[in-house]
Structure 1
Amino acid sequence: MLSLDAELGWGFHDLERLPIERVESGRRGWTVMLELLEEFDVPATWAVVGHLMLESCDGTHAQHPAPDGWFERERGEWQDRKDLRFGCDLVTALLESDVDHEFASHTFSHVLFGHPETDRELAAAELERSIEIATEWGCSFESFIYPRNAVGHRDVLAEYGVSAYRGWTPNREGARAVFDSMVRDQSLLVDPYIDDYGLVNVPASLFLFGFEGTARTLAESIWTDPMVALARRGIDEAVTHDGTFHMWLHPNNLTTERDDKRMRAILSYLERRRSESDLVVETMADVTRRVRQSRGVDGVSTRLNTEAKASWN
């Protein structure tokens, strides 16, 4: 399984210091990932920030109970950066893809649900606005990905009809992930389960861009790309064992052709292993349906189908 946090500028708008390369790579990475997933016919769960689906706004959002200054960057230095604030063209490309992707939510404005300053009212407003915009597009969502993996207000998700979320698995990125998997022989597989709110928690297995910078360059010079090695290991585990391997990334992680190469290597290996085994690629919606059915609860896939696409086209 592969999930993507699709956010453009909204993933960074609250930060004092911006990672400029990633901020400017969101559109590029989105397009590259769509092309690669089409090439290898891999369906993924795309969690989209709702604001990207607006055609325009004044940056005020007066009815939104966000804390003071939450939309300040949008009103200020990004006022003329529509490419960072809006993404109707990118969302349309996602919905028009020949691959059966799942459309999911990443909140309306990337509010961190797990932070203490995010109260229930704000969490509910983020979901309400996301549902409203999706409905205007003729879409709906049942899966939710927490911004920065800050899990919180699961009761609100359940109240608003969300069925699943991506849970956070500690030590599944960077050098620690490499050490645990390669040295300690720790499994990369996860077991999705129904939590105490009736939601299906689909834990993350591996963040595909957690080993970067000098460490990545050094590892590649004497060995190979560590993330490609871990992804292949996880895929192999999914072939031979009973469990789920859940990779994730942001489109803005693809800042150069070097990053494209990483994703191509992972997806091509996935394609090979899928062709020679009974490996199945699922979305979060597929996993949710499977887990619920195994527990005697009805589940309905929310993959985008022809009828859903036609409703907004």
Structure 2
Amino acid sequence: MGSVVLSLDAELGWGFHDFTSPPPRRVEAGRRGWATMLSLLDEFEIPATWGVVGHLMLSSCDGRHADHPAPDGWFERERTDWRDREDLRFGPDLVTDLLEADVDHEFASHSFSHVLFGHPKTDRELAVAELERSREIAAEWDRTIDSFIYPRNDVGHRDVLAEQGLTAYRGRTPNRHGARAVFDSTVRDRSFLVEPLVDEYGLVNVPASLFLFGFEGAARTVAESIWTDPMVMVARRGIDEAVRSDGIFHMWLHPNNLTHERDDRRMRTILSYLDRKRAETDLTIETIGDVARRVDVPRGVDGTVSPVNSQPMSGY
């Protein structure tokens, strides 16, 4: 029997602060989507891995972060356009709600300020600073960090994760996304299950299977008017396949993807179906950390990692 993993990129404004023109609906939906997802996950008693941007755990800052080796201008929007938008820059209230939820969610890192770890300009010093600051803030909240969700799934500096004591991360998906994912699932009957991989640093890579908001806009409206929500159909097929096999179906989203009531309905439908399948079968629901803890990381006689199935993952 397989399992289902759900992970979220919890970032508020930080997911867009480096955009020339941040998408207003997504930016403004962050808090609403966070509260809605917590409520739905509580209702269906489904644990998830929440990758939280560390800056959200602060209650204030100078907007400059002079001791942070970020490139020039990285924190500019915090000092200018969003200077008076503390609701986009800080979220200790939301993090408290997450940590005090009835469901035992996994608290994971999404970096300190949403730096892209795989970007050519992100050097080792910057990656170290992002993780060290995130861990320091987590410790102030009496929390530790075991899992990492890369901003924009831009994987890089995995050696730094290992050195900082993390054990797992969400890897890039081997599957296509959006309309192509719908085609692959419904027409080609392609499997969306993934297997955890142990990389050369001893980290457990739990690849993503499906981004739940990759089929949007006019195409989604047309599909829903004559058929059904395509992403719900693909999610259900993935859950059903996990019931029949030993693989993992790993869904993910951002809370800010919930910009409208129909987005809430999508998530309610998927979570309700997942809850029903868990009740009817031996299907389990895991976090990234749960998966990592059950994966045997092979080591040599000297204690060093002897990776198996270690290979780069394709994806977006």
TM-score range, shorter chain: over 0.9
Moved more, 214-223 or 90-99: 214-223
Residues 1:137 and 2:137 are matched in the alignment: no
Structure with more contact order per residue of length (Cα contacts < 8 Å, sep ≥ 6)? 2
Q: Deviations over 1:233-276 (max 9, x none)?
A: 00000000110000000000000110000000000000111110
Aligned with 2:285: secondary structure? coil
- The two structures have a TM-score, normalised by structure 2, of 0.92
- The two structures have a TM-score, normalised by structure 1, of 0.93
Percent identity reads 76
Instruction: Tell me, yes or no, if the aligned pair for 1:172 and 1:205 is still in contact at 8 Å.
Output: no
Q: Deviations over 1:263-294 (max 9, x none)?
A: 0000000011111000000000100011127x
Read off the aligned partner of 1:265 and give its amino acid letter. Answer: T
Distance 1:172 1:221 in 2: 24
Distance 2:251 2:165 in 1: 25
Instruction: Tell me, yes or no, if the aligned pair for 2:174 and 2:209 is still in contact at 8 Å.
Output: no
What is the aligned partner in structure 1 of residue 311 from structure 2? none
Aligned with 2:201: secondary structure? coil
Number of residue pairs matched by the alignment: 297
1:182: how far off?
Answer: 1.1
Residues 1:68 and 2:65 are matched in the alignment: no
Superposed, 1:76-87 pairs within 5 Å as: 76-87=80-91
Superposed, 1:97-116 pairs within 5 Å as: 97-116=101-120
1:296: how far off?
Answer: 8.1
What is the aligned partner in structure 1 of residue 42 from structure 2? 38
Residues 1:56 and 2:64 are matched in the alignment: no
What is the aligned partner in structure 2 of residue 292 from structure 1? 296
Select 2:125's aligned residue among 106, 121, 128: 121
Q: 1:215 to 1:283 in 2, by over 3 A?
A: same
Distance 2:31 2:162 in 1: 32
Distance 1:296 1:89 in 2: 41
Superposed, 1:1-313 pairs within 5 Å as: 1-292=5-296
Distance 1:212 1:171 in 2: 18
Read off the aligned partner of 1:24 and give its amino acid letter. Answer: E
Distance 1:57 1:279 in 2: 44
Distance 2:147 2:56 in 1: 17
1:180: how far off?
Answer: 1.1
Q: Deviations over 1:32-89 (max 9, x none)?
A: 0000000000000000000000010010100000000000000101011000000000
